[in-house]
Amino acid sequence: MIEPAVVSRALGVALKTGGDFAEVFVEDKRSSSARLDDGRIEELGSGRDRGAGIRVVVGDTTGFAHTADLSEQGLTAAAEAAAAAARGGGGGVRTVDLTPRVVSSQVVGTRPEEVGKATKVELLRRADEVARAQGGAISQVSASYGDSRRRILVANSDGLLAEDDQTRTLFVVGAVASGDAGMQTGRRSVGHTMGFELFDRYQVEDLAREAADQALTKLAARPAPSGSLPVVIGRGGGGVLFHEACGHGLEADHIQKNVSVFAGRVGEQVASPLVTLVDDGTVANEWGTFAIDDEGTVAQRNVLIEDGVLTDYMWDRLRARKEGRDLSGNGRRQSYKHLPMVRMTNTYLLNGAGSADDIVADTPNGVYVAQLGGGQVNTATGDFVFGMTEAYLIEDGRITEPLRQGNLIGNGPKVLELIDAVADDFEFGPPGTCGKDGQGVPVGDGVPTLRVSELTIGGTAA
């Protein structure tokens, strides 16, 4: 992407006023997208964004500058600006000897940029046709396709030089069904860190059929109950609960600011013994997977909670250096225009020894949540609210009527303690984008089927 000697000289300029640490992050990202709505192609585009961000650290002060000019002059100007922001004054030049790191990179079967636009549009049209064919009540269908190829280079004053080449492909189908109960929606999405071979693994017709069937089923749904009930969360679809309700609270920036309920609790029992929670950037082809994070650290598998005991937090480079901790590969940024921060990758709950069917059968009355939607969480208290995108009643140990218009309301640490059954049917959920401090990055999450003995359902049933 750029000559190591040029990067080395830019780091020298960044350190010439006496910085403690300097870093150059170079990014070249290409993307394409297509969107169909109401039978018409509404969007067909592509783009490219490339540039570099330079960070200089002096004590507890960080200077940062970014530029779209990747010439040596452009990098030098950005390095000088970052150094000036960190500390004014002049000084000598420090030479940084960069040693390239060999990292096993992603293998892509078919690069999306080599696939014609007509082929991508045809996927949208096939999804639209199949979704509408599921019933006359389907009144609207939308579908979208997206792919990106992101090449990064990271170099720093510790002598690190590493590169990564990340390709991601995504497909989403949404359907709206209209009936006496109003309009109901269904949605299915699939996305992986891989090329166009995604569509050898998944058929868009299946996704369209499932989205439409979900919307049609919800036409006959009854309002969700209100009150405290046992909740069974289906495999895959409930991973976002752990991402939001406890994952963010295990990020080291929240810990150091003491705005997390998990601060200072390493070694304590914080969850049911059935709970082992992992954050893992190495899972093959998952949405939050990469070879190196955005600070050049090799992706790792980090056990956060083991058998209910809090074992560690997630770390970025600067916080790990400050605390004398090992790097965990959780330094991530949206683009070269942003500073890295502590972020999750693929966060998931490990399998238990139970059976999903047995867990439902052992629940006389409750709610089965097949898919959670968006929500809100307070990391300082762990309190959360999540929408139930797809949910059903459990009556006499059987999944019965579909539900609508309901939320899950609870507290993350309390939920961890109240998990009393975990099945052996783990699955990753749909791809997600995690937002934090104005930045979004791709993440994955997943769970096996599990039961929370008591959760508050915010429904509309009398």
**pLDDT digit string, tens, across residues 333-345:** 999 999 999 999 9
pLDDT at residue 140, rounded to an integer:
97
- Report how far apart the first and last C-alpha atoms of the chain are (Å, whole number): 62
Of 239, 241, 251, 245, give the one whose Cα is nearest residue 283. 239
389: confidence class by pLDDT, cuts 50, 70, 90: very high
Kindly tell me if the per-residue pLDDT of 98 is higher than 70.
Answer: no
Q: CA of 110: how far to CAs of 15, 197, 280, in Å? A: 42, 6, 25
Question: Which residues have a Cβ under 8 Å from the Cβ of 23 and sit 6 or more positions away?
Answer: 11, 54, 55, 154, 155, 156, 157, 295
Res. 49: pLDDT tops 60? yes
Say what the pTM is. 0.94
Q: Clarify whether residues 179 and 254 are in a common domain.
A: no
Asked if residue 104 has pLDDT above 70, the reply is no
Residue 450 burial (CB count, 10 A): 28
Q: Of 39, 41, 220, nearest to 132 (Cα)? A: 39
Please answer whether residues 128 and 68 qualify as being in contact, where contact means their C-beta atoms are separated by less than 8 angstroms.
no
Quote the CA–CA distance of 191 and 283 in Å, as a whole number.
14
Site of tokens 């420090």? 94
Which candidate, 342, 364, 319, places its Cα nearest to that of 434?
A: 342
State how many domains the chain has. 2
Nearest Cα residue to 313 out of 379, 390, 247, 393? 247
205/231 same-domain check: no
Residue 152's domain spans which residues?
4-219
Residue 219: helix, strand or coil by DSSP? helix
Which tens digits make up the pLDDT trace of 198-219?
A: 999 999 999 999 999 999 999 9
| Residue 97: per-residue pLDDT | 54
pLDDT of residue 355: 97
Final residue belonging to a domain, choices 185, 200, 219: 219
- Domain end, chosen from 168, 192, 219, is at 219
Q: How many C-alpha atoms does 285 have within 13 Å on its Cβ side?
A: 16
My answer on whether 299 and 311 are in the same domain is: yes
- CA 9 to centroid of chain Cα atoms: 35
Residue 55 in this model has a pLDDT that exceeds 60:
yes
Query: Domain boundary residue among 170, 198, 219?
Result: 219
pLDDT digits (tens, 9 = 90+) for 161-192: 999 999 999 999 999 999 987 899 999 999 99
CA separation for the pair 445, 433 (Å, rounded) = 11
Q: In this predicted model, what pLDDT tens digit does every residue of 261-272 receive, in sequence order?
A: 999 999 999 999
Say whether both 141 and 283 belong to one domain.
no
Mean pLDDT of 415-435: 96
Q: Is the pLDDT of residue 147 over 90?
A: yes
Q: To the nearest whole number, what is the mean pLDDT of the chain?
A: 93
User: How many other CB atoms are found less than 10 A from the CB of residue 389?
Assistant: 20
Average pLDDT of 57-85? 92
Q: Examine the domain organization and report whether 137 and 187 are in the same domain.
A: yes
Output the domain CATH number for residue 120: 3.30.2290.10
Residue 401 has pLDDT above 80, yes or no: yes
pLDDT greater than 90 at residue 85: no
